[in-house]
Amino acid sequence: MMMRLFGCLLVGPALLGAALSTHAATASLRDDAQLVALLTKSPQCCVIDARSAPRRKEAELPDALVYREDLRIKPTSVVIVLADADAQALTVAKTLAKSSPHDVYAVKGGYIAWQSVEIRLQAQAAKPGSKFSFVIPYNTCEQGKPLHVFEAKPSRSAASTSK
C-alpha cells in the first residue's frame, strides 16, 4: 500500500506537468448554425480547403489555405476545415488539431454550408448599428514566418494636425 502511494506521488507531478505544458485542441463536426454562433463570438478564423482540385476550381475560396498532407500551420485563431465529405473534413480536422493550440471545426455540409455561414455573418455585419464585422483576415494561419505584420498608423487627420 505504501509503495503504491509513493509511486503515485512520484509519477503524479510528472504527468501533471506534461498535461499542463501541452494544450491539445479539439476537433469536431459543426453545422452552419453552430458555426454562425461560434464565429459571431470570435469572427476571425483560419479556413483550410481540403476539397478535391476539381471542386476547388469549380468554387474557389480565395482566403483559404489548400490542405495537403504535409501542411503545417501556426493558427492564430480557430480553424475551419471544408472537404468534399463530412467524414473527410473531420479526419483533416483531427490531424490539424494534434498540433494546433486552437480548436478545429469541420464544416458539416461542406462548401454549401460554409457559404451559408459567410452570408449569414455578412448580413449580421451589415445591420445598422452593428459593431460586428466578419472578414477572414489574411495570415490567421501562418505557414512558417508571418507574411504581414500589422501596425497601427496614424490617420491622415492626426498626421496633419501634428505638423
Domains of the chain by start residue, with CATH? 39-138 (3.40.250.10)
pLDDT at 115: 94
- Which one has a higher pLDDT value, 31 or 18? 31
What's the rounded mean pLDDT across residues 72-88? 90
Q: Quote the CA–CA distance of 86 and 106 in Å, as a whole number.
A: 7
pLDDT at 33: 95
pLDDT tens digits, 52-61: 999 999 999 9
pLDDT at 159: 46
Q: Is 139 exposed, middle or buried (0-12, 13-18, 19+ CB in 10 A)?
A: middle
pLDDT at 91: 97
Vertex 103: Cα angle to 89 and 19 (nearest 5): 125
CB 130 within 8 A of CB 41: no
pLDDT at 6: 36
The whole-model pTM stands at 0.67
